[in-house]
């Protein structure tokens, strides 16, 4: 019962951050126009088709990192579930499985909070340019 209450509290804590996880298309800043202007004035020959901005690169890195950490979270949850199911009444294995499950949920909350904060900071930096 205690584990269920903690999981519900964790889900309710993460719920306000859910809108921050969806990128909004209207918030994106078109930096390519500025780069075209700079490239035109310097004669650098900026190719818009192959260029990526710094924010695109950072976004791709964050996406890869979050995908990797999501896979780790899924593996930990499956491992804890299997450990709990195969405990056969052994209290030590059940407590170990509960500890792994609790740690992975707390890690997921920290991960989602870090993503929400980084998304907020990067979008504010984009809007200030």
User: Does 85 reside within a domain?
Assistant: yes
Calpha distance 37→110 (Å, rounded): 41
Count how many Cα atoms sit within 13 Å of the Cα of residue 7 in the half-sphere of its side chain.
10
Residues 51-63 have pLDDT tens digits of 577 777 877 888 7
Domain assignment present for 49: no
Domain count along the chain: 1
- Quote the tokens at residue 112: 């989602």
Q: Which domain holds residue 63?
A: 1-14+54-129
Q: Assess if residue 93 is contained within a domain.
A: yes
Is 91 among the domain residues? yes
Predicted TM-score (pTM) of this structure: 0.54
Nearest to 114 by CA among 25, 47, 10, 21: 21
In a domain, 47, yes or no: no
What are 37's two structure tokens? Answer: 């202007």
| pLDDT tens digits, 11-70 | 666 656 665 555 544 444 455 555 555 555 555 554 555 557 777 787 788 878 888 888
Q: Is residue 45 part of a domain?
A: no
Residue 5 domain-assigned (yes or no): yes
Residue 97 lies in a domain: yes
List pLDDT tens digits, range 62-117: 878 888 888 899 999 999 999 999 998 899 999 999 999 999 999 989 888 888 88
């Amino acid at each position: 019962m205690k584990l269920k209450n903690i999981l519900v509290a964790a889900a309710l804590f993460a719920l306000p951050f859910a809108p921050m996880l969806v990128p909004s298309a209207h918030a994106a800043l078109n930096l390519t126009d500025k780069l075209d202007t700079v490239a035109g004035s310097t004669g650098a020959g900026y190719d818009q088709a192959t260029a990526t901005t710094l924010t695109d690169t950072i976004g791709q890195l964050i996406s890869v990192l979050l995908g990797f950490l999501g896979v780790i979270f899924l593996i930990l949850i499956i491992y804890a579930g299997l450990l709990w199911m195969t405990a056969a009444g052994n209290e030590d294995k059940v407590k170990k499985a509960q500890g792994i499950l609790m740690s992975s949920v707390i890690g997921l909350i920290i991960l989602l909070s870090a993503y929400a904060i980084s998304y907020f900071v990067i979008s504010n930096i984009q809007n200030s340019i």
